Structure 1
């Protein structure tokens, strides 16, 4: 979408070699349902209530205002009970790029033939006042109690403004490391903050759509998948030209003794 200049971020996954402890970055591959010529990246959804229907449209959907930002999850999450409380932050052990299998709270405990699928659902109820909050989360409220792609109950009085539910999907190509994972040994994948379990998965969002383009999409009665509200869509060959220059200059390719950013 050529009018979308928002920032989307998740941590990077690394493989930690079970023998020598070195690290290798896990590449991202494109979601199987995306357009041809897509090069990796995160799949981002803006949905009114859920993935397929909008049966509970009892209040209008308001697009995020300029300057809005939020996060979901926390790198400090380190127990199963805490992780279960982060509704919609889940993993799938892919059999193929299409067959996802059941959702899991933690990293898979066995090699996945099609890679590891990570999903991040953001809350959709806003307090109507704050573009951000000290913890980057309390200005938002999540009314979904189970799976992320479900109809969300009405927003509470404390957070009365219904906004789009933003969801990220990332496909990590862990398949090239499966032969290095000895049978019966613990999961060897870690997040870039040295998260040895999957509990600390988290994501950031900063709104950046041009003008009222996102609001036009939310105003359309039957907006699904893409092309809603006269949003300008680019072909993937053109979209792939949009890149961000390396501003750090830190080595991230090949086998590394330490994770990037960690003291040597």
Structure 2
């Protein structure tokens, strides 16, 4: 899974300067856009349509990209925040000649390559555009390339980004695929995500109200909650009479579900829905998952999770030892609360989708480095791997990772362009401001049959890239009962409303 980079100040000064420039350029257009910040490709008045061009923002799907107002001639939008491994997919492209061009800008001295590939991210190379520093993120130039062939008929073309840099390295404005034909050679014109100038969800986002995204939907965008359904579920939840807490119950807000591995696949139905093989390898828990999984499908599927009513999907990147998958010893999801008053916690809204962690974060994590740490359960850590990133556990223990999700919801959207921005953290123990609704706090506990050490890697890269995905498919009555009796009453439960001590 590749998640679009968060709009935070990056570590190096070049990227910081880039962000400041982009915010300034985006300010004027942000005021004219709706509060959702969603841009519909081909529908922006200030862009001058030029026959024969495929606008870079007219992608059908993407990983790692975001759009912004452009300073290039002809106006409109360009695609930015593009780093090594990111990609854009264009459907229905007619290639009318061997002479191809791309409009690019770069403020990264490392440069790189934009590869055009046919049919898949690893498909045959159609052409490669070399990228060199142009003097600024809005200093544009046109680069040329020769197509290796001129295939007949509409094509699916992937633009795959390659660079030795760990930072974003190129902006894209448009492509041409041969001489002008009097019309844009691409039939694709799908919504793309907003610029960094607007990260606030709208009260009336432009996506249709649905509990699940159809497989053909592009990755990204604000997805509003089905308000009528949510109102019905809240009314039913409010009407629940909580079960009386028994003496000896541990007074912590908690219940859990235990799930087994369902399957592994290079799919991600949240980030790249409808694109099998478009992601790195994931380990899925509960229900067998593929790129076409939706909430509606989960609700009628068979699960191996042991909490009655939990048909939700959970997944993490695959852990590998010398290139081979490391078996999972156990997987438990704790549902708890971090707010001061757990009686304010509500169940998850229908169809909620959330990503926690950053698959693009590739930094070292030596001992005591803070977050994104694997550690030893059941025995002591007795050393580190040669690169310092992985603990070595004493016999009798195992490698473990705990991933904690955000637990304040914006009350409006079940998904967002980066699959994170509809969720936030409590402020002084209270869900407030843009994130006023307290929901259960998810905590993935992934135990591996490994003592750690050398040869380990995640399918997404370094341990700092550890991340998790959640698609809510709980039966509302079951989830509501657990929230009302266990979380709201600050009481420890198991997989059902059975109180526990210890």
TM-score (norm 2): 0.33
Residue 80 of structure 1 deviates from its aligned partner by 5.2
Distance in structure 2 (CA, Å) of the matches to 1:153 and 1:215: 22
Q: Which residue of 2 aligns with 1:10?
A: 316
Count of aligned residue pairs for this structure pair: 182
Q: Aligned partners of 1:134 and 1:2: how far apart in 2?
A: 32
Deviations 1:204-243 (A, max 9, x none): 0000111321122111114313155479xxxxxxxxxxxx
Query: Is the partner of 1:213 in helix, strand or coil?
Result: helix
Match of 1:24 in 2: 324
- Structure 1 partner of 2:56: none
Report if the CA contact (8 A) 2:381-2:391 is conserved.
no
- Picking from 375, 388, 391, the partner of 1:92 is 375
After superposition, give the CA deviation of every residue in 1:169-217 in whole Å (9 maximum; x if it has no partner).
Answer: 0111114xx7xx6xxxxx4200123x1x210000000001113211221
* Structure 1 residue matching 2:470: 3-state secondary structure: strand
SS at match of 1:93: strand
Q: Tell me, yes or no, if structure 1 residue 44 matches structure 2 residue 333.
A: yes
Deviation of 1:92 (Å): 1.1
Deviations 1:41-91 (A, max 9, x none): x10111123xxxx8x21651111111111000111002359xx9995x432
Q: Distance in 1 between matches of 2:342 and 2:398?
A: 39
Q: Deviations over 1:146-170 (max 9, x none)?
A: xxxxxx7212311010000001101
Bigger RCO (CA 8 Å, 6+ sep): 1
The equivalent of 1:19 in structure 2 is: none
Residues 1-264 of structure 1 correspond to what in structure 2 (within 5 A)?
Answer: 1-16=307-322, 23-30=323-330, 42-49=331-338, 56-57=340-341, 60-79=344-363, 89-96=372-379, 107-110=389-392, 112-113=394-395, 114-143=397-426, 153-175=429-451, 187-193=454-460, 195=461, 197-220=462-485, 221-229=489-497
Instruction: Please say which structure displays the higher CA radius of gyration.
Output: 2
Structure 1, unmatched stretches of 5+, are 17-22, 31-41, 145-151, 182-186, 232-264
User: Residue in 2 aligned with 1:35?
Assistant: none
* Cα gap change, 1:205 to 1:60, in 2 (>3 Å): same
Conserved in 1, the CA contact under 8 Å of 2:342 and 2:490?
no
SS in 2 for 1:110: strand
Instruction: Find the residue that maps to 2:414 and give its secondary structure.
Output: coil
**Structure 1 residues 124-133 or 109-118, which shifts more?**
109-118
Distance 2:333 2:417 in 1: 25
Larger strand percent: 2
Between the aligned partners of 2:472 and 2:416, the Cα distance in structure 1 is 15
State the superposition RMSD in angstroms: 3.0
What is the TM-score with the length of structure 1 in the denominator?
A: 0.61
Any stretches of 5+ residues in structure 2 without a counterpart?
Answer: 1-306, 383-387
1:128/1:26 Cα in 2 relative to 1: closer, same or farther (>3 Å)?
same
Shift in alpha-carbon separation, 1:192–1:112, aligned structure 2, 3 A: farther
